[in-house]
Structure 1
């Protein structure tokens, strides 16, 4: 069948003009084997009616979706990579393939690729993605969504029949092309590039586009007020995203400014990890030797990245003084983060919030107990769900948390998931899921894991089926 009649396509990004992207073509792959399609989210955008053959045509050969772009767009941006500015970035192995609206809430969504071939920004690389990297991204996005994190979705993964050579994997290794569904791919680095080029006119056009399409709460009668409101809205959303990571025990691994988008949705998962136990120094990337992007440094890194966005916006200062309101919004990041962190912790614990101060005290007490006890991170959240106490937490480490719990009530009815064992996604589990795929093309363990994560998602969402 073709796309659903309720599919609502868009070409909104093309309105920005070619100063922000390059028209490109996808690679031609020797073989296409469908490995994953997110049917639940396909239904949210009206693409669930596609047959597997049609799916391969759109997301393997990248035949245009009706009403969206006639040719893919490789987006242009710059960014700080491990705090070093790089003006030679851009979509080097991906592109924006299509846009459409979420049929539930009307949001403008992107379908963008990873591993779809070379672009003008490939810098000599092959523009490909390993199959293992694609599998890892499916797991990361599924688990994060289950844990309540604002994240992109791994919409499609197709094996392409190529062999790749990589330094960090046994080579040759299998290749794949991935499509992610995300709420914008406009990044802090998009603004940094325009600031670097001193292109204030395009930056104003970009700002208007973002306010119209993504952040209508930032609309205001004057330009200085619009800029300040935009920066405030982005700061709030990025603070929420970071707080959700911390409550999930998630380490992104590569928090460069080109990996932070202005809608505050997490995306682009490379060397991610989940914490086995609370450890602020825990890092995800083997090449992060100084621990710049360690778990405990993620909040300060996000604030630093937002400061680079603020600096870029000063290109629009004109006759007014933007430094004062932008600095005020940046200074508000800490309190915003703490409020969002408390909310995320209570959500994961299944407790109804009371008042901001008490909620913050409870969240801090729980994390202090995690640190003092060295309890398994996910297990502790699981065991304390709804404020209940299971055996194994009677010692002094959890006493302040037990005291802070007084007066809190469960946020909803108990779910059967919390009577079993917690679903986790530690690095050794990921390797164990990849091994049967690499050795005998056995995908069943991955399918079983995704089914377990789906049960977890339903439990946290309060769904019964």
Structure 2
């Protein structure tokens, strides 16, 4: 079926619903938030606060909950630092977990989904190791931009709900120090990672594994529908991860650190460190300076996510037969291909005719983009706003094959929004990220960030509505 973006957030009443405690004490550790010397509200997501009933909080109450981290009414108290293991750049690490964040609250959203509020930069936990449990303000700003951009481009992503500057000076080896600090809260449909299952398998705790499988199916997938819950959860997660892989590629996005502890059971992207958008269709483009082998480069992201699912399957073998899991794993390439082509057509604003027909169109587009004469965002902008789908502004020979194939497609949206009348598309490459941060770091000027968020949201509206 054609790709459909997430529904627009609508206003509801606050509906706390703490479910995580059903899993017992082995899923996480009670922790306390750090005491920060200052609390300056820098970002409040005025689209998504209403979707979880928090739009009525004034700024003072907001800072109390999301800067000082006072518990929300009838919610988690104390918060929980979740336990997990993970493969980090394919090396298994049993010594990780929520090291600078915790699960702060659970509540229902406008679609009645169970949502998690998780923190980052909220202080040390039993899993901090040698870290200080803090987050740089620059890291928080970068996550605002990443989540806003990905949401607009139709990628299933966590939402940056809040950023509060905390008045500490931090030392980091990968940016000029001392640098400013912040505590961030993200809104996610599950913080349960593949790494949580890996930890349980490592500990050979069959009872907890069964509990966690049931918890995930009940709270994220509408309940248990078969007599093989492990395979059922794996199939649903694999389908969502395939969609994530396809959306990453269409967006030109490189996450940078696709470790198993950074992939959750709902296929929702989160935890943005060294992310980037590649300007051109360049498979070897990497986001992290430390990814010297290109393990998580742009073109290898579907492979990386497939590999992570294999580790999930291996963990589930603690309580499940392997054959059904292997069959699901082997179906991933086709699921990814279908998701990729459907999302590609959605971004172009044309009908999807199914994988076999869409594949030729997308391959022709990739051939043209690989010439690097047109940037990815410019390509989608030019073809997406063309009144005649076969006659965009870009009539270069690189896209001649693509032009012939797209001529037979019907538009699914009319490019009527103001966005399509701009001179150039909305993009977010590293140079602009650094420019936005420089204005904040040097002059405490937040206008460029606010303007960019508004521009990104305008693009998102145009892609969803025309």
- TM normalised by structure 2 equals 0.95
Aligned in 2, Cα 1:369/1:429: closer, same or farther, shift over 3 Å?
A: same
Per-residue deviation, residues 245-301 of structure 1 (Å, max 9, x unmatched): 000000000000000000000000000000111100000000000000000000000
Larger displacement relative to structure 2 (148-157 or 379-388): 379-388
Per-residue deviation, residues 98-128 of structure 1 (Å, max 9, x unmatched): 010012x110000000000000000021000
Instruction: Give the corresponding residue for 2:410.
Output: 409
Instruction: Give the corresponding residue for 1:155.
Output: 161
Instruction: Please give the alpha-carbon distance, in whole angstroms, between the structure 2 residues aligned to 1:10 and 1:364.
Output: 45
Is this contact kept in 2: 1:218–1:233, CA < 8 A? no
86, 95, 102: which one aligns with 2:93: 86
Structure 1 counterpart SS, 2:92? strand
Instruction: Give the corresponding residue for 1:277.
Output: 280
Instruction: Give the corresponding residue for 1:58.
Output: 65
* Unpaired runs of at least 5, structure 1: none
Output aligned runs, 1:18-417, within 5 Å.
Answer: 18-103=25-110, 105-216=111-222, 218-220=224-226, 222=227, 225-317=228-320, 322-385=321-384, 387-395=389-397, 397-414=398-415, 415-417=417-419
Shift of 1:67: 1.6
Instruction: Give the corresponding residue for 1:447.
Output: 450
455, 458, 462: which one aligns with 1:459: 462
Aligned in 2, Cα 1:249/1:217: closer, same or farther, shift over 3 Å?
A: farther
Is this contact kept in 2: 1:133–1:270, CA < 8 A? yes
Instruction: Give the corresponding residue for 1:418.
Output: 420
Instruction: Please give the alpha-carbon distance, in whole angstroms, between the structure 1 residues aligned to 2:84 and 2:393.
Output: 52
Is this contact kept in 1: 2:390–2:403, CA < 8 A? no
Aligned in 2, Cα 1:65/1:360: closer, same or farther, shift over 3 Å?
A: same
Shift of 1:216: 2.6
Is this contact kept in 2: 1:29–1:160, CA < 8 A? yes
Per-residue deviation, residues 121-163 of structure 1 (Å, max 9, x unmatched): 0002100000000000000000000000000000000000000
Structure 1 counterpart SS, 2:318? helix
Is this contact kept in 2: 1:76–1:90, CA < 8 A? yes
Larger displacement relative to structure 2 (405-414 or 303-312): 405-414
Instruction: Please give the alpha-carbon distance, in whole angstroms, between the structure 1 residues aligned to 2:326 and 2:104.
Output: 36
Shift of 1:389: 3.2
Instruction: Please give the alpha-carbon distance, in whole angstroms, between the structure 2 residues aligned to 1:388 and 1:399.
Output: 10
Instruction: Please give the alpha-carbon distance, in whole angstroms, between the structure 1 residues aligned to 2:401 and 2:390.
Output: 15
Q: Are positions 1:11 and 2:18 aligned together?
A: yes
Larger displacement relative to structure 2 (401-410 or 162-171): 401-410
Shift of 1:373: 4.5
What root-mean-square deviation, in Å, do the aligned CA atoms of Structure 1 and Structure 2 show?
Answer: 1.2
- Equivalenced residue count is 451
- TM normalised by structure 1 equals 0.95
Shift of 1:392: 3.8
* Unpaired runs of at least 5, structure 2: 1-10
Structure 1 counterpart SS, 2:117? strand
Shift of 1:399: 1.4
Is this contact kept in 1: 2:280–2:372, CA < 8 A? no
Instruction: Please give the alpha-carbon distance, in whole angstroms, between the structure 2 residues aligned to 1:148 and 1:455.
Output: 13
Divergent runs of 4+, >6 A: none
Instruction: Please give the alpha-carbon distance, in whole angstroms, between the structure 2 residues aligned to 1:29 and 1:204.
Output: 39
